[in-house]
Structure formats: C-alpha cells, structure tokens
A and B are shown apart, each in its own frame.
Chain A
Amino acid sequence: MNEPAVKLERVSVRYRVPHERIPSLKEYAIRWVRRRLRYADFWALHDIDLEVGRGEVFGILGANGAGKSTLLKVVARVLRPTSGRVRVWGRVAPLLELGAGFDFELSGRENIFLNGTILGFTKADVASRLDRIVEFADLREFIDAPLRTYSSGMVARLGFAIATDVEPEVLIVDEILAVGDAGFQKKSAERIRAFRENGTTILLVTHDAAALKAMCSRVMWLKRGEVEAVGPVDEVLARYQA
C-alpha cells in the first residue's frame, strides 16, 4: 500500500451520559459530595484500526448509530478520541457541514469570508478565490444580498462551492451530496470525480450500494462501534446485504 493519508490506531470514542441529567452545578456538587455520580458509558467507537492510503476512495457503511458519523468527526478533528491515535496527512475538507457558521443576516459575500475562515483559510486566501467561488455557485447577481433571501438550494450551492474550491488532500463526504438542482448536482459530482482523479483521498459514508461499488476500492462495515468487516467492496457488500 502507498503512503497513508489517514491512520487510526485503536481509536475509541466514549460518550458519557449521566444516568440522570444533572444540568446544574448545585446538584452536581450535592451528588458529588454524596458520591452518587453515575454515568452510563456509551462507546460510539471501539478499538478501530484503519489505514487509508493516499488517493484511495474508502467507503464506510453500517446501520444508523453504528458510529459512522463519529468516525468522520474524529478524522475531521471535531472530536478528539477518548483513547487511541488519529493521524491525518494533508488538509481535510469536511463535507459534513456545508456552510458552517453561515449568518443569514449577512450577505453572500460576507458569508464566503466567514465560512472560508472557519474552514481555516486566511482572508487573503478567500479574497483571491472569491470570484471562482461565486462563479461555481452561480450566484453572481445575488452575492451582495443577505443570505436569508436565498433559497435553501442556493445556500447549499454556496457552501459546497466554498468547501471544495481548493483541492483538499482528504475529502470527507457524509452521504452522496444531493445539492441544488439537477444541473448543480452534476457539476458537484464532476468536481468530486476530478478530485478523485487527481489523487484526493476520499472517505465516503453512504447507504447507496451502487455508489459504493462505483467509487470505492475498499469498504469498512461498522456495527455498534466495532469493525464487522473490512476489505474489497464486493466482499463486504455481499456480507452486509446478506
């Protein structure tokens, strides 16, 4: 296998759910004094090992609540694993949340800067790419209008255009993107295909078996936070669907 782009070693994520909700400091203190703090531990991921090579398109499947989204969040740095080690080589573009931090009172242009800097770019970076983003999102006439006047499709187009304007080393995709109208869906699928051909590593979560077959080389099947199977797409799919 070639160099890794994403590597997980014995990664576990635990959500601590207090038995009773203790939202107040006062109650917490009382219970702590009485030694009556009890938690239910929920392991969203348990001892996951995974290595995804550079340029690989890797699929993740599993039922709802199997830990797929948690896995993506751990790679995207949103959650730090409770134990284990996550390493990523290169810039990650998470297509989990398009348009994170969009402020609907601000104009499209202002939101490009806001969302762009949230994604970790500098203002100068965003400024130099502004035209391309507006062009791709096809929002030239509306770019100075407040975002609240946009349709939801327009908002999604803008989010996608910002997130994918620079080719990332690692692309994280939760569900096949159905963004905007048919024309834009084609355009966005095209862009992801181009990334793939240029060697971007892609982590893809989807329930769509046909999409997995078409795009992925290897697939991991997660079941209640553990790896049920990992391997070539046909093998794993056959077991998953059995």
Chain B
Amino acid sequence: MSEAGSLQAATYDSAARRAPLVRELVEVVRYRDLLGLLISNITKSRYKRSALGVVWTLLNPLLNMAVLTFAFSHMFRFSLVHYPVYVLSGLILWNFFTQTTTYAMSTLVWGGGLLKRIYLPRSIFAVASIGNGLVNLLLSLIPLLAIILIVGHPVHLTWWFVPLAVLLLAMFSLGVALLMSALAVFFADVVEMYAVFVQVWFFLTPVMYPKEMLPARFVWYLNLNPVYNLLELFRVPIYNGTIPGPHTIIAAVASAVVSLLLGWWAFASKADELAYRV
C-alpha cells in the first residue's frame, strides 16, 4: 500500500505522542468559541428560567448574609466591626468555590452523553463552569459594594488586589473541579460525598466567624487549608484594607498552581476513558 499519505502529517493521529496535559489545553483553546457560548448559555438559561432572574444572584448571598448577621453579629461585635461586610465577602468567595466545583461535576455527568457521541475537549465543561462562576462573582460584587456603602465601611485602595485573588481562586477551583469531575464519572457516589465534605470544610474555614475564635493551637492548621489562604487573599484587601502578608500570598499561589496542575493532569490522563464511562 502507498505510504505517500504518511509523508503528510495526519489531521488526527490516535498515537500522537503529546503529553495529555498539553493536548487537552491546545484543544480547549481551539474550541474557545464553543467555550464562550457554553458560558453565556449557562448564564442566560439560569437567569431565564428563574422568576427573579438576575436579581436572584444578587439576592441569594444577601439573604444568607442577613441571616448570619442576625445570628452572629452580636456575638462578634467586638472582634468584627461591620460584620455584614466580613461575612458577605467570605460567602462570595466560598460560593464561587462550591458552586463551580459542584456544577462542573454535574455538567460532566450530564453533558457526558455528548462526549459519547461526538468529539469535544472533555475538560470544556469544567472550564465553562469556572467562567460562569466568574460572571456570578462579578455580579455579586454589586451587593457587596452596596452593603459597604450602607454600613459605612471604608472603600480601600487595596481593592486593586482583588482581581489577583480571584485569578488564584479560579485556578484552584478549576483544579478541584477537574479532579472531582473525573472521579464523579467513574463513581456515582462521589457527588454526594463531595457535598458532605464541602459542608464540613465550610465550618472548618473561618468564613462566617473570625479565626481568633478557634483555639490557639488550631490556628496553625489553617495554613493547611488552601481555601483559607485564598479567602484571606480576597477578604483582607476588602475588609481590612491591607495587602495580605507574603506567607499568605505564597501559600495561595502554591495551592492554586498545585491544584490546577494536579487536577488538569489527572483529568487529561483519564480523558480518553471518559467516553467509555459516562
């Protein structure tokens, strides 16, 4: 048989030896227009199908904040001035993390039907859920600013640091989302286990209480909680009006990079099996 065609590189070669890590990234970039559409469709359908529409995204963290303020602000009145600002900025970050990771799992399990029928970069659903999370986060800064103005909390110049914190948060969440959604395809109970795990994680992270409330000997353990470092990175510039210390920054950068590399690697190396499993 002729080998002439082999001289010209094949458009698709199943034996192409390219690290899965890189291959998956190249493919997501190639499908970037689809990514944009998925993000806008998720966002639109979410707002179209609920009666309150976009108001709900703004209202939901506010309601949580109101309940927590009612319950705890008296308790923390000495350690935390303007408690609503403290708790709302914490909730915004926490919601981003849990919503994006949970959504990535459910869309892969759901959108997996598509992967069985047509080729798509498998990680596109996880990346899209992070994109959707970023839109929601941006929107929820509106009620945060409103609360800051209402309670008379100073608007600090250190806000410029917030985008950096959000970038690291997005990287960290994408890593977790990829890892969890790869697991969720193989094992159905992972989705429920993760929900319980996240609940416990929430209470172990000082989102709604000051970290000083923890017994002194436990405070050190917070450094092992990657979400805590990201939370500090996001909240300190908004609430305290300072730039977080170098330890926090280094720890946050490290956890974002490690999470993303680990999640991406785990997902990409299992990506070819996904179409067999979903």
Residues of A within 8 A of B (CB): 1-5, 7, 15-16, 23-26, 28, 51, 54, 74, 76-81, 84-92, 94, 96-97, 100-101, 103, 105-106, 110, 113-114, 117-123, 169
Contacts and interface: CB of A to CB of B under 8 A. Distances in A.
A114 B37 contact: yes
Given A23-B188, A89-B5, A97 B11 contact: no
Nearest to A88: B12
B45 interface: yes
A224 to B, nearest CB: 19
Interface residues of B, number: 38
Contact of A86 (B4, B14, B186, B275): B14
Nearest to A74: B14
B33 A123 contact: yes
Contact of B189 (A24, A79, A169): A24
A149 B186 CA distance: 36
Contact of B34 (A106, A117, A169): A117
A68 B10 CA distance: 23
Contacts of A3: 2, 4-5, 8
B71 interface: no
A78 B188 contact: no
Given A78-B116, A78-B275, A118-B120, A88 B11 contact: yes
B118 A89 contact: no
Contacts of A123: 33, 36-37
8 contacts: A3-B4, A15-B276, A16-B276, A76-B118, A81-B14, A105-B45, A113-B37, A114-B37
Contacts of B5: 3-5, 7, 54, 89
A25 B187 contact: yes
Contacts of A105: 45, 48
B275 A2 contact: no
B176 to A, nearest CB: 16
Interface of B: 1-2, 4-6, 8, 10-15, 30-31, 33-34, 36-37, 41, 45, 48, 114-120, 183, 186-190, 193, 272, 275-276
Contacts of B193: 25
A94 B2 contact: no
A3 B30 CA distance: 27
A106 B49 CA distance: 12
A87 B14 contact: yes
A88 B10 CA distance: 6
A217 B141 CA distance: 64
B45 to A, nearest CB: 6
Contacts of B118: 76, 78, 94, 96-97, 100-101, 118-119
A175 to B, nearest CB: 15
Given A76-B118, A120-B30, A23 B11 contact: no
A106 B45 CA distance: 9
Given A24-B189, A51-B1, A100-B117, A80 B33 contact: no
